[in-house]
Chains A and B, each alone.
Chain A
Amino acid sequence: MDFSLFALERWVHFMAGITWIGLLYYFNFVQVPAVAEATADKDKGGPGPAAITKYVAPRALLWFRWASLVTWFTGAFYLMGAHKFLTAFTLQGQDAYIGMGAWLGTIMLFNVWGLIWPNQKKILGIVTATDEEKAKARKIAFLASRTNTMLSIPMLMFMGSASHGLPF
């Protein structure tokens, strides 16, 4: 039995990537609309969004942000081992396909750690913030999260196309 570091990196890359993007879709397609509805229902005697923001969101964000880091590094190590890191990121020849996927993933990683997580810490009260700061943080985190959802569509197309070709 031969050990393949490439296969291991690809396997972990897929698992972490599914965790990351799965939670991204959970936030955008499930949690954000659910919190909005729960907030609107609170005045009508509903339970409100407190349990979601206290018990669900911090756990989802924990897996989300660390999975994004594992995804990026396993992908980067894979490309380095294959001597494709530079040719991918400089979009050379056939490596332009995986390279464009890698660029989109890199922008998304920055959005997670540079915009979503620091602002979510204010929203969830992990760091202290005024109501005004929280409102601003909510807007930035929301737009960064929606941007990542949009970018995930071409990102996944390019990731798959590196081995299997574009759909057009």
Chain B
Amino acid sequence: MNPLASISGTIIAGFVLAIVLGLVVKMLAGA
């Protein structure tokens, strides 16, 4: 099921994406 169908799924997906992208950018920035 598409997590974007529900508000809670959308928010959880957003936080997961934030953590994943945050770790990637940290690596890119050499931090």
Contact of B14 among A150, A158, A161 (CB under 8 A): A150
Contact of A150 among B4, B26, B28 (CB under 8 A): B4
A147 with B25, Cβ < 8 A, contacts A28-B10, A152-B14, A153-B14 known: no
- Of the listed residues B10, B18, B28, B29, the one surrounded by the most CB atoms of chain A closer than 10 A to its CB is B18
Q: What residues of B have a CB within 8 angstroms of the CB of A29 in the complex?
A: 7
Query: How many residues of chain A get a CB closer than 8 Å to chain B's CBs?
Result: 23
CA distance A94 to B28 in the complex (A): 8
Q: Is the interface of A mostly helix, strand, loop or mixed?
A: helix
Contact of B30 among A33, A93, A151 (CB under 8 A): A93
Cβ < 8 Å to A, chain B residues 1-31: 2, 4-5, 7, 10-11, 13-15, 17-19, 21-22, 25-26, 28-30
By the criterion CB–CB under 8 Å, are B14 and A154 in contact? yes
By the criterion CB–CB under 8 Å, are A97 and B4 in contact? no
Contact of A96 among B2, B7, B14, B25 (CB under 8 A): B25
By the criterion CB–CB under 8 Å, are A147 and B4 in contact? yes
By the criterion CB–CB under 8 Å, are A168 and B21 in contact? no
Q: Is the interface of B mostly helix, strand, loop or mixed?
A: helix
> A33-61: contact bitstring with B at CB < 8 Å (1 yes, 0 no)?
10000000000000000000000000000
A-B contact pairs, 5 of them (CB 8 A): A29-B7, A97-B29, A146-B4, A149-B11, A153-B17
Report A's interface with B, CB cutoff 8 A. 28-29, 33, 91, 93-94, 96-97, 100, 143, 146-147, 149-154, 157-158, 161, 166, 168
New A-B pairs, 18, CB < 8 Å, besides A94-B29, A153-B11? A28-B10, A93-B29, A96-B25, A96-B29, A97-B25, A100-B21, A150-B4, A150-B13, A151-B14, A153-B15, A154-B17, A154-B22, A158-B21, A158-B22, A161-B22, A166-B22, A166-B25, A168-B22
